[in-house]
């Protein structure tokens, strides 16, 4: 094994949920039957798969195929795909975007990596430019995007509680949030993975204004937003502006394997990120872009997002809500985050007597796998017990499996709070070292 550099050592470790997924994969290999509510992979819906089959068939039959597969292309992205997204967004949202406002990346995760190391980290004068997450918890993947870990800063939210309904919602705490000249950029997901939270238009506008006053970009991770995949269960509108970089992914629209990310924003920002990408990988894969161009230009992708993808997960969330309301012990202070979008539910067990990691291990003994919540607080510097009391629950299982899994979860919750659980005493309560978000 050759000696690693500082960056090599940092990037060779798993962070966040990826570390836990290693444990989950090893658990599933044991052969025991589990209900797996950890998955981030979208469900392969027949109508969505057929759309991509049809677009692939059309591409294979076209003269375009050889150019797409057998030629290098522009670092910015495949021109017909950019044109399709440009025309759709201009028509749909009344914009006047040009091709120069777009960059296509190999998935949106790579886009945040480019931005984190172009706009965040140490400047040429040695000043640390912070990457600000204004609302924690947020996407666990943000924990590994910067080569300068100390650049990442997150802020604790305000908790909007409804104890009677056992519901809650995170809101930005503007009394604490600081966007200053040493901020490189601001980043948040909307709808949010893992919580399903959707920042209101007013909250987004306020963050945007604070950032604009310091000439700071705001990256809005719209992997679950309209128009595709449109996994919002509450009304929301995408935001655009001089300092906003609107970031899209087609993963939850049925193309996670093709890794298609789309950045829409100011031409100067786009040019910086394009140059970074050119040095990194020349350009994104063109095959996925070519079939997606057909799906977007025909209107089929937006239509199937609204009529198939969104209702599928919204039904699952309704089943989850009803099951928790019926099964959870009434004496326990449990809270479900308001389901406003994405493909997950976020459960908070207030005053949980054991850690999230220990509860995860105990629930595995009941044949159910969920994801401990602590990896979803990257950049949060102070200790907060709330971080070890939350769980992400995937909506990708069948409705019957969701019901069965949550019945078992509720039974375990009852035993843990009653002090009768023996399962958690028999397992290690220390999370793996890599789980700690850097």
Q: How confident is the model at residue 12 (pLDDT cuts 50, 70, 90)?
A: confident
Does residue 433 carry a pLDDT above 80? no
Q: Write out pLDDT tens, residues 38-58.
A: 988 999 999 999 999 999 999
The domains found in the chain, sorted by start residue, are 6-45+308-417 (3.90.1150.10), 47-302 (3.40.640.10)
User: Is pLDDT larger for residue 22 or for residue 9?
Assistant: 9
Please return the burial class of 5, using the count of CB atoms within 10 Å of its CB with bins 0-12, 13-18 and 19+: exposed
Q: Write out pLDDT tens, residues 283-314.
A: 999 999 999 999 999 999 999 999 999 999 99
Does residue 261 carry a pLDDT above 60? yes
Cα 53 to chain centroid, rounded: 26
Q: Write out pLDDT tens, residues 225-251.
A: 999 999 999 999 999 999 999 999 999
What does the angle CA 10 – CA 12 – CA 15 come to, to the nearest 5 degrees? 75
Does residue 15 carry a pLDDT above 70? no
What does the angle CA 105 – CA 250 – CA 216 come to, to the nearest 5 degrees? 55
Give the residue from 79, 242, 366, 319 showing the smallest Cα distance to 311: 319
In this predicted structure, what is the pLDDT of residue 377? 96
3-state SS of the chain is CCCCCHHHHHHCCCCCHHHHHHHHHHHHCCCCCCEECCCCCCCCCHHHHHHHHHHHHHHHCCCHHHHHHHCCCCCCCCHHHHHHHHHHHHHHHCCCCCHHHEEEEECHHHHHHHHHHHHCEECCCCCEEEEEECCCCCCHHHHHCCCCHHHEEECCCEEEEECCCCEEEEECCCCCCCCCCCEEEEEEECCCCCCCCCCCHHHHHHHHHHHHCCCCCEEEECCCCCCCCCCECCCCCCCCCCCEEEEEECHHHCCHHHCEEEEECCHHHHHHHHHHHHHHHCCCCHHHHHHHHHHHHCCHHHHHHHHHHHHHHHHHHHHHHHHHHHHCCCCCCEEEECCCECCEEEEEECCCCCCHHHHHHHHHCCCEECEECHHHCCCCCCCCHHHHCEEEEECCCCHHHHHHHHHHHHHHHHHHHHCCCCHHHHCCCCCCHHHCCC
In this predicted structure, what is the pLDDT of residue 399? 98
Mean predicted confidence (pLDDT) in 326-347:
97
Does residue 111 carry a pLDDT above 80? yes
Q: Which residues pair with 141 in a beta bridge?
A: none
Residues 6+ apart with CB under 8 A from 192: 135, 137, 138, 139, 198, 199, 341, 342
Mean predicted confidence (pLDDT) in 210-231:
98
Please return the burial class of 327, using the count of CB atoms within 10 Å of its CB with bins 0-12, 13-18 and 19+: middle
Average pLDDT taken over every residue of the chain: 93
| Residue 82, both tokens | 């950019």
Does residue 436 carry a pLDDT above 60? no
Mean predicted confidence (pLDDT) in 265-283:
95
Residue whose tokens read 């949550």: 406
Mean predicted confidence (pLDDT) in 71-84:
97
Does residue 203 carry a pLDDT above 90? yes
**For the chain, how big is the Rg over CA atoms in Å?**
22
């Amino acid at each position: 094994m050759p000696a690693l550099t500082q960056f090599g050592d940092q990037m060779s470790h798993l962070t966040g949920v990826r570390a836990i997924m290693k444990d989950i994969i090893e658990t599933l290999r044991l052969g025991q039957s589990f209900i797996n509510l950890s998955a981030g992979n979208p469900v392969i819906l027949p109508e969505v798969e057929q759309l991509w089959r049809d677009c692939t068939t059309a591409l294979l039959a076209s003269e375009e195929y050889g150019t797409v597969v057998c030629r290098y292309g522009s670092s910015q992205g495949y021109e017909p795909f950019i044109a399709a997204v440009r025309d759709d967004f201009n028509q749909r949202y009344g914009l006047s975007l040009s091709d120069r406002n777009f960059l296509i990346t190999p998935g949106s995760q790579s886009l945040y990596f480019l931005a984190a190391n172009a706009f965040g980290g140490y400047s040429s004068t040695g000043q640390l430019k912070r990457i600000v997450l204004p609302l924690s918890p947020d996407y666990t993947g943000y924990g590994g995007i910067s080569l300068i870990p100390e650049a990442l800063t997150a802020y604790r939210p305000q908790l909007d509680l409804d104890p009677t309904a056992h519901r809650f919602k995170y809101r930005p705490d503007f009394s604490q949030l600081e966007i200053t000249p040493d901020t490189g950029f601001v980043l948040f997901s909307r709808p949010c993975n893992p919580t399903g939270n959707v920042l209101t238009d007013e909250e987004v506008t306020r963050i945007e204004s604070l950032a604009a006053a310091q000439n700071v970009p705001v990256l809005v991770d719209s992997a679950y937003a309209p128009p595709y995949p449109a996994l919002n269960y509450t009304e929301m509108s995408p935001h655009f502006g001089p300092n906003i970089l609107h970031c899209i992914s087609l993963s939850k629209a049925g193309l996670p394997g093709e890794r298609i990310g789309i950045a829409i924003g100011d031409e100067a920002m786009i040019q910086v990120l394009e140059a970074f990408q050119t040095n990194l990988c020349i350009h994104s894969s063109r095959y996925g872009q070519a079939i997606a161009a057909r799906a977007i230009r025909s209107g089929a992708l937006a239509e199937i997002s609204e009529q198939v993808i969104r209702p599928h997960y919204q039904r699952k969330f309704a089943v989850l809500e009803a099951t928790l309301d019926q099964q959870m012990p009434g004496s326990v202070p449990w809270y479900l985050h308001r389901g406003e979008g994405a493909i997950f539910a976020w459960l908070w067990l207030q005053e949980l007597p054991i850690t999230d990691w220990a509860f995860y291990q105990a629930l595995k003994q009941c044949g159910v796998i969920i994801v401990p919540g602590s990896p979803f607080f990257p950049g949060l510097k102070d200790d907060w017990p709330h971080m070890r009391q939350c769980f992400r629950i995937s909506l990708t299982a069948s409705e019957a499996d969701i019901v069965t899994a949550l019945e078992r979860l509720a039974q375990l919750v009852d035993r843990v709070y009653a002090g009768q659980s023996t399962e958690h005493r028999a397992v290690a309560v220390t999370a793996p070292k890599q789980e700690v978000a850097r």
